[in-house]
A = this chain, B = another copy of it.
Amino acid sequence: MPLPKKLRFPQDEFDRRQTKTKAAMQAAGLDLLIVSDPSNMNWLTGYDGWSFYVHQAVVLPVDDDPLWWGRGQDANGARITAWLPEERLHPYPDHFVQSEACHPMQHLASVLRARGWDRRRIGVEMDNYYFSAAAYRTLLAELPNARIEDAKSLVNWQRAVKSEAELVYMRRAARVVDAMHARIREVMAPGIRKCDLVAEIQDAAIRGTADFGGDYAAIVPLVASGPEASAPHLTWTDEPLRDGEGTFFEIAGCYHRYHCPLSRTIFLGKPDQRFLDAEKAVLEGMAAGLDVARAGTTCEEVAGAFFSVLRRHGFEKDNRTGYPIGISYPPDWGERTMSLRAGDRSVLEPNMTFHFMTGLWMDDWGFEITESFVITDGAPEILANTPRALLVKD
């Protein structure tokens, strides 16, 4: 009995994605693409599953439908989640997995040879997760007649402008992150262990709403307090929350792998002046950035509007202030194309989606109030609906 297909988009959405990607391949002079980035694999075929710890790929020829290639035991996952028919699935035997004697890319090369594709101009994702140096070197050795070129963000760029169906999922992810922040406000108090608070956050994330459940985000909650909030990427401990400390919550709601990141800061007790000053600077700077964030302006214009207000308030932030978001897998919920920073002249288009990452990580404290939004011809659509303020619990 064939396994039931469970696709999250209608076929014509996948067809449009494929057409768009093939046009970009032609423009880049590529006639085959090896797509290792799990976000790109999902976007092209629907393939979903936590199998990206082994080598796998979607192979997209410019003149044919894609192939799924992966570990034998994951072929059933492809049968269920990807729109591809049986004859487009190429599982490899298990002895290739984490072996000192052979590499899975030897198997992929044999698949390409069997289809007569080993003399093509092949694009590989040189700097994407999870295309390793060994994968690259193995392909070079196995495919001496191919021309192997870097196509690292070719598919990522095709994902930048979202379809209406994708925006529906991102708005659902926004409802999830609203529920997560509501839970934090409800349970946060001095004395409770940080791990117990994070347990509540993850419960809210996955439970989602009464109408739909949540998915796992590509990053776990980043929830540092006090001096540790000077480091943006610490996770949590089992120490109790303390009065007189600020804690930021960098979290995302996720629905069918689509993300809506949203950060807020909560101060337990009477906040010191630094937090009040940061709130003022960040909210004013964010308003300035959102004011220019519309179709036709550039990434650096949005960043510039934010940074100039921040500087006027005496804050120096030496890192980018945002990035595009959408479908993703660990370890990153960003799309890794544009950045909101000086020098990035990418022009914003309607239905591009960004996380405006206006976080401040100072010498011994940190502060985050952020928003995720959709570019339109007018004011951006703010995805979440969580109060945009420093929350003080006294």
Given contacts A195-B206, A208-B238, A215-B235, contact A76 B126 (CB under 8 A): no
Contact A216 B203 (CB under 8 A): no
A129 within 8 A of B: yes
Contact B220 A195 (CB under 8 A): no
Which chain A residues (257-300) contact chain B, with CB distance < 8 Å? Answer: none
Stretch at the interface among A17-25, A134-142, A306-314, A377-385: A134-142
Chain B residue contacts of A194, Cβ below 8 A: 213
* Choice from B126, B132, B228 contacting A126 with Cβ under 8 Å: B132
Chain B residue contacts of A76, Cβ below 8 A: 230-231, 361
Given contacts A199-B207, A213-B195, A334-B98, contact A73 B131 (CB under 8 A): no
Contact A73 B361 (CB under 8 A): yes
A95 within 8 A of B: yes
A392 within 8 A of B: no
Stretch at the interface among A44-52, A57-65, A161-169, A241-249: A44-52
CA distance A100 to B152 in the complex (A): 10
Contact B195 A207 (CB under 8 A): yes
The 8 A CB mask of A76-120 against B (1 = contact, 0 = none) is 110111000000000001110111110100000000000000000
Closest B residue to A71 using CB positions: B319
Chain B residue contacts of A330, Cβ below 8 A: 330-331
Q: What is the interface of chain A mostly: helix, strand, loop, or mixed?
A: loop
Contact A202 B206 (CB under 8 A): yes
Contact A220 B50 (CB under 8 A): yes
Closest B residue to A229 using CB positions: B76
Closest chain-B Cβ to A218's Cβ sits at a distance in Å of 8
Closest B residue to A218 using CB positions: B53
Closest B residue to A330 using CB positions: B330
Given contacts A132-B132, A236-B213, contact A52 B331 (CB under 8 A): yes
A145 within 8 A of B: no
A interface size (C-beta, 8 A): 91
Contact A216 B220 (CB under 8 A): yes
The 8 A CB mask of A183-220 against B (1 = contact, 0 = none) is 00000000001111011101111111000111110011
Chain B residue contacts of A147, Cβ below 8 A: none
CA distance A160 to B215 in the complex (A): 33
A332 within 8 A of B: yes
Chain B residue contacts of A48, Cβ below 8 A: 234-235
Which chain A residues (338-369) contact chain B, with CB distance < 8 Å? Answer: 339, 341, 343, 361, 364
The 8 A CB mask of A324-340 against B (1 = contact, 0 = none) is 00000011101010010
Chain B residue contacts of A136, Cβ below 8 A: 133, 136-137
A74 within 8 A of B: yes
CA distance A130 to B319 in the complex (A): 22
Contact A319 B50 (CB under 8 A): no
Closest chain-B Cβ to A3's Cβ sits at a distance in Å of 6
A323 within 8 A of B: yes
Chain B residue contacts of A199, Cβ below 8 A: 202-207
CA distance A101 to B97 in the complex (A): 35
CA distance A74 to B232 in the complex (A): 7
Chain B residue contacts of A99, Cβ below 8 A: 339
Contact A213 B193 (CB under 8 A): yes
Give me 11 other A-B pairs in contact (C-beta within 8 A), A50-B331, A53-B332, A133-B136 excluded.
A49-B234, A73-B233, A74-B233, A98-B334, A128-B132, A129-B129, A130-B130, A131-B132, A133-B133, A199-B202, A202-B202
Q: Give 13 A-B contacts (CB < 8 Å), ordered by A residue.
A: A48-B235, A49-B235, A50-B222, A53-B332, A71-B319, A95-B341, A97-B339, A127-B132, A127-B134, A130-B331, A195-B206, A200-B203, A208-B238
Going nearest first, the 9 A-B pairs with the smallest beta carbon separation are: A195-B213, A213-B238, A133-B136, A53-B332, A127-B134, A77-B231, A76-B231, A94-B319, A53-B331
